[in-house]
Chain A
Amino acid sequence: MGSLRALLGVTWRRPSARIGWLLLGAVLAAALVLPPILPDPAAQPDILSQANLPPGLGHPFGTDMLSRDVLSRVAWGARVSLSVAALAVVLSVTIGAAVGLVAGYAGGRTDAVLMRLVDAALAVPRLFILLLLLAVWERIPLAALIVILGTTGWFATSRLVRGEVLRLRGEDFVRGAEALGAGRRRVMFRHLLPNTLGPLLVAATLGVGEVILLEAGLSFLGLGIQPPTPSWGGMILDAKPVLVTAPWSSVFPGLAILVTVLAVNLVGDALSDALDPRSA
């Protein structure tokens, strides 16, 4: 794990990645601290007189068409979007690592079959798989959404891990372990997996950004996180009819997505450069 700490240190020393860490920290802090001290995100104090208020003292981000506080909904949306993305990515990286390990280490027919299937899955853009899967639900439960996002995101990761495993398989430390009588499972999990953690970390970081964008897009189409749970994409969908008269109710959730995804990608970018110094 020492190398992991060194990796994070490298990203901190790089200005663009440091901006990423700081932005990410700000978003996380806002998601943790703000919701309890802000008005209830579902409260509709007065639809007649307090709807579509521009940003001001009482409501820093204004209010939406139902008189709900936009800042409060953005902060709650951060909790929802970040946890959905984190859980989905943990799931997809785990599956991707497992499939990649098995395919790379088993080789032969197992590898050929798994990789043909992954190729086929990669031929369908992830959004379209999600649209087909989600359109049958009337109101999708949050847990099901997370599982669906997680199980559609591992294809590229499995290729990545497989490639690493193929490279490592012939190395002396792996052959040594095999010669000493280590079983397949031990070789895979104790010797091969730890050496793929770097690329996995990059894939996970970039995956978080991707899932946040996908989830926002799905919620914007009405297929993702269901109201009244606040979500950034859902807020932009709700605010569409008042885009011209009350732009703040769609501009701020969009900015929240932009800042969060940018932060995650700046960090991911620096991580991948740190692992492959050629590109820095």
Chain B
Amino acid sequence: MDPTTVMYVSQGLQGLAYGMILFLIASGLNIIFGMMGILNMAHAAFFMLGAYICYQIVAMTGSFWLGFLFAPIVTAALGVLMQQLFLRKAHVLGHFGELILTMGIASVIVAAIKKFWGTQNLPLSMPDSLNGMVSIVGISYPAYRLFVIGLALVVLVLMMLLLYRTRLGKIVRAAVSDREMVNALGININLVFMLVFGGGIWLAGLAGVAIAPILTVFPGLADQVGMDAFIVVVTGGFGSLVGAFIVSIIFGLLSSYGVQFLSNFAPVLMVCFMAIVLVIRPNGLFGVKE
């Protein structure tokens, strides 16, 4: 293969890996946003918190896989705590209240992170088993990024199965369309939403853990990826996992090829794409018209 093609393909793979990380964050945001109607501005902060907790676990035990396993769970527990303590009260006020509350929580989390871990970049080494290069049709590619792509695919499949093939998924979807009726049928709606919220934050934590070895851990992590994930959800359509997945891939590719061809306007390619989509379909690409 000639070198330019190799460059384009590896650029594309790079974008794909970024897109997959976006999808991991966006899918969590999407189930919270799409199913509970909560504009969770703290999502990116939890994502960052996941990365930091993983860093801490790795620093203490030396095992990446322990961090990989437990950091998202700890993050999810903190998220559920926040939901039970504050968010339930704000839900009465509608979107504005939730928006401001989660913004407040996001900035408290950032403050806590700066207090405990400082503001410097903390490196997190990837596990030895994934630290090599893999060669696919003549192009060598970091194994860790392939792992991230695989992880996102697994998450997509598992979530689709969970939502559309299990009783729990049915209850969740029913609760979204008419929570009072589901409540009247004797299902503990608070518990269902707690699970959904916990699941969403778990995904944010997982994304944080996945990105930590690629980007190092620093307090600006949330700003960098958070807005992108939000844009993915809005563009893909609320509550649509497939939409989030496709848009994540498009954005990943846009960001990697955009830097190459339109470097001046790379930062706004995503928002331009979103603007075009929203003008044509205000509910997002795969959104259902209310």
* A, B co-complexed: no
